[in-house]
Amino acid sequence: METDLFESVTECGCAAKVPAQDLASLLRGVEVPADPAVLVGADTLDDAGVYQLSSEQCLVQTLDFFPPVARDPEDYGRIAAANSLSDVYAMGGRPLTALAIVCFPSKLVRQGILAAVTRGAVEKLREAGCVLLGGHSVVDPQPKFGLAVTGVIRPQEVLTNGAARPGDVLVLTKPLGTGVTIMAVRAGLASTEQERSVNRSMASLNAKAAELARRCGAVCATDVTGFGLLGHAMQLARASGVALEIGFDGVPLLDGAPGFAEQGLLSAAAYTNRDYVGDAVRFDDDVPLPARDLLFDPQTSGGLLICCPAERAAAFVGWAREEISTPFGVVGRVVEATGRALIVVRRRTRSPAEAGGDKP
């Protein structure tokens, strides 16, 4: 189909999110009704809500939508669906049903673009074993598409961003760099293979990563999307009352991403993410600027950041090599919170023996 969806928007994918600090201010001013059945609500800025129906079952509910993140409509649909499903996987849940959220220009509807986007989304829903029940559409000058997803989980199996424990090993299950790579694609600076690679990564489901998290006994995870690795890591650290040490050399990266960052191909969201994290992060002097930028880069349909029990980390890595299709990496560790900085970024993560038990 001859179309380039990038021509119809000003922002792409999760880079179009409202800045995190603005959302935080909004939530502080809203009084949410209390309900003891709410196991995970808005207070910890987690990936989805969890509502307990019985002693054996909870609902996991989320929604996500964004402007086009790929030139091709079916790629856009696949990525939007994978991104929406990811919030359920990040909670450890199994997605069951979805409703489409559609804001589209009339012209693109008549040209069959929306139909192609929907085909791509349904392909990913089928892969996830999730049923599309319907949706709602409005006419909008700039296209946006996504899903509201409902899943299920047992109460004792819920993963949250508030349960990290000192000693846990941090594993990231997809490479960083979607934001700068999308900017490079729009600018005509990315190769065809780099464009295909970023689309494959964004369209990959986090289902297997969530399964491995449960298998290794993890109780804490979050998915990395529009607020960047450091934004979501900071939310996890605050919710858990811990600090994190991240080693950049262990972070998986998309091919070409370091070069794109060095060229300054950053979206506005990367700068608002940096403002959001502020002095909660401290960088060692030997961490170069492009590396720092990539840690703030807004991700679309990124991987899971999993807090794996240290004694199971080697097993997790072995399973991931066999069962996860995307590049992954051991990116850091959880430590006790003792100072102002919730996150210290080093060139590489030190082992507990090297660190001597020190804290950020």
The domain limits of the chain are 5-157, 169-353
Evaluate if residue 112 carries a pLDDT over 80: yes
Mean pLDDT of 141-158: 96
Q: Answer yes or no: 103 catalytic.
A: no
pLDDT band at 13 (very low <50, low <70, confident <90, very high): low
Q: Name 228's Cβ contacts closer than 8 Å, sequence gap at least 6.
A: 179, 270, 273, 295, 296, 297, 298, 299
Fold of 5-157: 60s Ribosomal Protein L30; Chain: A; (3.30.1330)
Q: What is the pLDDT of residues 281-328, one digit of tens each?
A: 999 999 999 999 999 999 999 999 999 999 999 999 999 999 999 999
Provide the whole-model pTM: 0.92
pLDDT band at 202 (very low <50, low <70, confident <90, very high): very high
Query: Is the pLDDT higher at 42 or at 179?
Result: 179
CB atoms closer than 10 angstroms to residue 241 = 13
Question: Which of 12, 14, 130, 216 is labelled catalytic?
Answer: 14
Mean pLDDT of 19-26: 72
Evaluate if residue 351 carries a pLDDT over 60: no
Q: How far apart are CA 103 and CA 136, in angstroms?
A: 9
Evaluate if residue 357 carries a pLDDT over 50: no
Q: What is the pLDDT of residues 216-258, one digit of tens each?
A: 999 999 999 999 999 999 999 999 999 999 999 999 999 999 9
| C-alpha separations of 189 from 180, 256, 293 in Å | 11, 10, 18
> Is 169-353 in the same CATH topology as 5-157?
no
pLDDT band at 194 (very low <50, low <70, confident <90, very high): very high
Q: What is the pLDDT of residues 45-57, one digit of tens each?
A: 889 999 999 999 9
Q: How far apart are CA 250 and CA 313, in angstroms?
A: 14
Mean pLDDT of 163-175: 97
Q: What is the pLDDT of residues 27-42, one digit of tens each?
A: 777 777 889 999 999 8
Q: Name 4's Cβ contacts closer than 8 Å, sequence gap at least 6.
A: 71
Q: Which CATH number fits domain 169-353: 3.10.450.50, 1.20.120.1200, 1.10.10.10, 3.90.650.10?
A: 3.90.650.10
Mean residue pLDDT of the chain comes to 92
- 3-state SS of 121-158 is HHHHHHHHCCEEEEEEEEECCCCEEEEEEEEEECHHHC
pLDDT band at 14 (very low <50, low <70, confident <90, very high): low
In this predicted structure, what is the pLDDT of residue 355?
A: 41
Q: What is the pLDDT of residues 91-109, one digit of tens each?
A: 999 999 999 999 999 999 9
Evaluate if residue 6 carries a pLDDT over 50: yes
Q: What is the pLDDT of residues 256-278, one digit of tens each?
A: 999 999 999 999 999 999 999 99
Q: What is the pLDDT of residues 115-139, one digit of tens each?
A: 999 999 999 999 999 999 999 999 9
The pLDDT > 90 percentage for the chain reads: 82
* DSSP labels, 162-206: T---TTPEEEE-S-B-HHHHHHHHHTT-S-HHHHHHHHHHHHS-S
